[in-house]
Amino acid sequence: MNIFFNSRINANQSLLNVLFGQQQKAASSQNTGCRGTRDTLTISASGKEKLTKSTSGRTHNTSIDSSIDLKSYIASAKKTNQEIIENAGTQINAKTSEYMSTGKAFRAALTEKYSKLAAEAKTHSNPENYIHSKYFDKSSEYYETNLTDTERRIAYNYEMQMCRTGKINGVNYQDSLFRGIEVDGDSVDSDKIQFERALVNSQISNILKQAGVDTSSITEDCIFTVDPYSYEITVDGVDEETKVLMQNALNVGNNGKNLYKHIYYCSTQDGCESSQVTEESKMKYEAYHQVYSYTGYGLDKLEEKNGTYYTESGENILDLVDKAVEDSGKVPKEFKQQMKNWIHDLVSTMSTKGWNNVPDMTLSILYGKSGLKDMNQLITYQYEADSTNRQWYSVL
């Protein structure tokens, strides 16, 4: 499945969720050098106040909290991300390895905490009664006094989960472990985009070095352009010999397709306002690739008439699409008709407008000594070596 959608079916969220697994993005924020959405960690005044309050009674949970070194989890995440970049390989793919995010690192910290608490609970004859009493029975000798009502509910659920299943679900940043830290866990992490940019830069550098390209001669005027249909990468801004060498090295396997996806992703973040991506060009891209994925035919090679396209043998491409969707195992039965309707709408709109009257969603990006740099948009995700000083794991 492709990554672009026609705005006319945005209301069909159930179909999109099943077919594409898309998630909604949260509001954006900014940071120096790379603006976009990100996970944020800042010391909050309310958090500091909680930490200075004195309470009497059992405070075992917060004692466990203080024994857990969050910085070590952050350092481990940073190391993991850097090792992925250093071992990027020679195939372009921004998704080849998963980014160690705030949520993953801090879920590991929470797992450490509740593993210790659940182990203690299991030393009691009835672990679940013990867990309930420590959080909700003020007369119990095990009652935890140093927790807010929210922290109490969270701790109870987590400890029960760990006791019953040996794991916890999700990351709740209102847990007492994160007192004094504000974590916007629902935001899209712009540092993840910089990580992926660094990964792709490393992959491209490895490819060119392996091909014997003298990268020191590449200027900031070098541009990679990716065709939206063939995914062929064209190189401009270098001498002819270097151009041929670079193109031959880059146009291997799925490199073009994966570079295209990376450029598109970085062009469509909130606030980017890329002039390379329009609703019409997305529609044209999607119409082509949906038809091609089901029939093997390219719309640009077919006869355009009567609101549809025809093969050389006179077959209506929509008839071929309908049969292919019905026979396909990748579309759930309850969504087959929606899929067919969507492709019909795409093809009909394209045929009515005329293939040559709608701009192609050709994507370009600058490439120089510092790697890739977005062009024709307000936000650029150019990776800089010192940008690690701005990443989330440097906050604490």
On whether residue 6 sits in a domain, the answer given is no
Same domain for 219 and 364, yes or no, is: yes
Q: Which residues of the chain have pLDDT under 50?
A: 1-55, 185-188, 386-396
Same domain for 300 and 328, yes or no, is: yes
Same domain for 136 and 253, yes or no, is: no
| Number of independent structural domains in the chain | 2
pLDDT tens across 93-112, in order? 999 998 998 888 999 999 99
Q: Which of 115, 150, 183 is the last residue of a domain?
A: 183
Torsion angle (degrees, nearest 10) of CA 305, 311, 316, 321:
-120
Residues 6+ apart with CB under 8 A from 168: 107, 110, 111, 114, 158, 161, 162
Per the CB < 8 A criterion, the answer to whether 309 and 317 are in contact is yes
Same domain for 100 and 196, yes or no, is: no
Same domain for 168 and 204, yes or no, is: no
Same domain for 311 and 345, yes or no, is: yes
How does strand 371-373 pair with strand 363-368? antiparallel
pLDDT tens across 158-206, in order? 999 999 999 999 899 899 999 988 765 444 467 888 899 999 999 999 9
d(CA 10, CA 2): 15
Same domain for 329 and 210, yes or no, is: yes
Sign of CA dihedral 199, 34, 184, 106: positive
Per the CB < 8 A criterion, the answer to whether 183 and 41 are in contact is yes
How does strand 363-368 pair with strand 223-226? antiparallel
Same domain for 199 and 175, yes or no, is: no
On whether residue 113 sits in a domain, the answer given is yes
SS3 336: helix
Same domain for 274 and 198, yes or no, is: yes
Same domain for 317 and 250, yes or no, is: yes
pLDDT tens across 347-377, in order? 999 999 999 999 999 999 999 988 999 999 9
The two counts, helices (H) then strands (E), for the chain are 13, 8
Same domain for 177 and 223, yes or no, is: no
On whether residue 287 sits in a domain, the answer given is yes
Same domain for 171 and 213, yes or no, is: no
What range defines the domain where residue 262 resides? 190-373
